[in-house]
Structure 1
Amino acid sequence: MAAFMILFAEQRERHAIRRERVFRNRTQVLDTMQDNELIMRYRFPRHIIFQLIDKVTDEMQPTTYRCHSIPTQIQVLTCLRFLAKGDYLSEIADIHGISKSSSCLVVHRVVNAICNQLKNINFQTGTGEVRKVKSDFHKISGFPNVVGAIDGTHIPIQGMSSDDEHTYVCRKGFHSINVQGVVNSDLRFTNAVCKFPGSTHDSFILQSSCLPDVVSNLQDGGWLLGDSGYPLKEWLMTPIGHPRAGQEERYNLAHCRTRNVVERAFGVLKARFRCLHKTGGSLPYNPQKCAKMIECAIRLHNLAIDNRVPLTEPVEADAGNNHIIAPTVNNIAAAAIRDRLVQRF
C-alpha cells in the first residue's frame, strides 16, 4: 500500500502543470510625466529622482543573476510614492507593475538605502556656519544668538501586541513615535531623534540626545528655542510662564515668532510626506521600521529644501507638543541669562 501511494504521488508530480510566471507591464513614468506631475505624485522632479537612483543603485543591486529582477528605478519610485501619498501598498504595487509582497520589501529596502547614503541631517558647529544661522534667525523677530528651534511631534503608527505596547500610546490616545526635531530658519532639519515611544516626554528625549553636549560647547555659544515642554537651560531659552506687560511680553512674542519655524517645518514635512500625517492613517509596521521611515522622510525633506522643490500640498501648522509643561527645575544661572536677555526687548 505504501509503495502504491509513493508511485501515485510521483506520477501526480510529473503531470502537475507548473504555473506560468507573470511579468507585469511596468510603465516608465519618468519618460511620460512632466516635472510638475512627478512632484505631485513623487514629491521630486525628474533630475532629483535620477540623483536618488544613482545614490542608492550600488546598495540596491540584486544578488540574483536572473533577468527579471525589479529595476532600481521602479523600487525608488515605489518607495517615494508610498512616502508621498501613504496609499495602500496594493494600489502602489499595481501602479508600478509589481506584486504587493514585492512592494513591501522594496519600500523598506529603499528606505534603508536612502538613510545610509543621504547624509544631510547635520547640526552646524563651524564658526562661519553658526554665525549665518544666528543672523538668519535674528532677521525673523530680532531674537539674538539662536542656533536652532526645537520641538516634538507625534507620528501615528499601528498598534502592536508586545509587552511595551502601552508605552507607545501618547497623551492624545493613539499609538505614536515622539519625534524630536531641530530646524534652521529655512525649515531645514539639523537634528532629528525618531526612536522614542509616544508616551516619552520631550525633555527626556532632549536629555538623551547629543544636543546638550553639542550646543553647550559651541565656540561662540548659542541658544536653542523651545516651548514650555522643555526646561530652562543656559543653552535653551523657553518662554516666560506668566509674563508682565512690557519687556517680558515682547520677549515672549519674539520667542514665539522665532520658534514657530519648527512647527512650520513639521507641517511642511507631513504635507510633503502624507504617510506621516494623520490623514494618511498610520504607519503599518513595527516601531523600528516606522522610525527608519520617519528618518528617511526627514532626509528627503532636507533634500527638497536644498533643491527648492515646490510643495503642491496645503500645509497645516503642526501644533507640536507645546501644551505640556516641563517639570519645574530651579536653574539660577539660566534664569539670570534669560533676565538679561529680556532687557533687550
Structure 2
Amino acid sequence: MAAVILQRQRQRRKRRNCKERVVTIDHLTEQEVVSGYRLDKASNAELKGLCREDLSPRTDRFCSLQSMTKVLTGLRVLAEGDFLSEVADLHGTSKATAATVVDEFVNSVNLRLRNIRFQTDRTELNKIKRKFYQKCRIPNIIGAVDGTLITIQAPTEDEAAYVCRKNYHALNVQAVCDPDARFTDVIAMWPGSQHDAAIFNSCGLKNYLELNDIGMLLGDSGYPLRKYLLTPKLNPSTPQEVEFNKYHSRGRIVIEKSFGLLKSRFRTDSLIQCRGGARAIFPCDS
C-alpha cells in the first residue's frame, strides 16, 4: 500500500521547468559579442577554459548551470553594469543565482588570471625603456604610476574614510602601466580618502624599487621626487624646465590612457563591489 501511495505522489509531482539558458555565443556575430561582453569569441573561450575548474557544474542534476553561462553572466555584469534581474533574464537564471554566479566568476578570475605582473627581467625592462624613450625622450623609464577613483556603495564600517575629495564613496586604486598602456601593477584596497603618495609609500613595489636599481617611474606632482620616481617640475621658470614638463607629460599620459580604456570597456565600479574585489597585487604585497 505504501509503495502505491509513493508512486502516485511521484506521478503528481510536476516536472521542473527551467528557463532557456545561454550556453553558447555561436549564434552571435563577433561585433555583438564584443558589444555585449567586451571580449571577442576567442577570448571568451579562453576565459572559459581558464576558469573551467572553478565554474563547471559539481553535480549532474537536471538544469545545472554550465561554465559558459557563468562566464557570460559575469562578463555581462562587469561590462554593462546591468541590474542583476536583467542579466538573469537574459541568460535564463534567477536573480539569486546570477548574484552567486558573479561572485564565483570574479573570484575565479582573480585566482586564475595572472596577467598583471611587474616586469623584472632585464631584457624586457630594456625594451620598455626604449619604448618610453621613443615616446618622451626621457631615459631609464620603466612605467607610469597614478591613482584613480572607483565608485562604490557606502560601506557599513569606516564609511567616512571612503568619501573621496569629490565627495562620493570610492576606492583609490593605484596602477602602473607600460608604454603600451598595459597594467603591470595594480592595488585596489585603499579607501578613497587615502592620498596617492601614501598608497605608493606603503606598497611592495616602492620597496622593490628602493632595493633594486632597475629604473624610474613617471608620476604626477602628487608624488614625492625620488631616485626611482620622477615627477614634473613645480612652477617651471626656464625654457628647459617647461620643455622637461612637456616631455614628462607625454610619457605619463599612458597611465591616463590605460584608465580610460579600462573604464570605457568595463564598469569598474561593478567589478570592485563584487565579493573578493578586483585586486591584482605586486608579489611583495602578498
Give me the TM-score of the superposition, normalised by structure 1.
0.74
The 5-angstrom pairing of residues 160-309 of structure 1 reads 160-162=155-157, 164-219=158-213, 221-273=214-266, 275-276=267-268, 282-283=269-270, 289=274, 292=277, 294-295=278-279
Aligned mates of 1:41, 1:158 — CA distance in 2 = 24
- 2:109 pairs with one of 105, 109, 114: 114
Structure 1 position 30, deviation (Å)? 1.0
Task: Indicate conservation of the 8 Å contact 1:181/1:192, yes or no.
Answer: yes
Aligned mates of 2:91, 2:41 — CA distance in 1 = 16
Task: Indicate conservation of the 8 Å contact 1:157/1:284, yes or no.
Answer: no
- Say yes or no: does 1:150 pair with 2:167: no
What's the CA shift string for 1:146-187, capped at 9, x where partnerless?
00000000000011332x011111010000010000000111
How many equivalent pairs are there? 271
In structure 1, the gaps of 5 or more residues are 1-13, 277-281, 299-345
- Relative distance call for 1:168 and 1:234 in structure 2 (3 A) is same
Task: Indicate conservation of the 8 Å contact 2:103/2:275, yes or no.
Answer: no
What's the CA shift string for 1:46-97, capped at 9, x where partnerless?
1111111011111223333423211000000001111111111111111000
Displacement over 6 Å in runs of 4+: 17-20
The one-letter amino acid of 1:122's match is R
Task: Indicate conservation of the 8 Å contact 2:23/2:66, yes or no.
Answer: no
- 2:84 pairs with one of 80, 86, 89: 89
What is the SS of the residue equivalent to 2:132? helix
Task: Indicate conservation of the 8 Å contact 1:125/1:218, yes or no.
Answer: no
Structure 1 position 105, deviation (Å)? 0.5
What is the percentage of aligned positions where both structures have the same residue?
39
- Relative distance call for 1:245 and 1:284 in structure 2 (3 A) is closer
- 2:62 pairs with one of 67, 78, 91: 67
Structure 1 position 284, deviation (Å)? 9.3
Partner of 1:302: none
Task: Indicate conservation of the 8 Å contact 2:163/2:169, yes or no.
Answer: yes
Give me the TM-score of the superposition, normalised by structure 2.
0.89
The one-letter amino acid of 1:118's match is L
Partner of 1:330: none
- Say yes or no: does 1:105 pair with 2:89: no
- RMSD, matched Cα: 2.1
Structure 1 position 38, deviation (Å)? 0.5
Partner of 2:125: 130
What is the SS of the residue equivalent to 1:30? coil
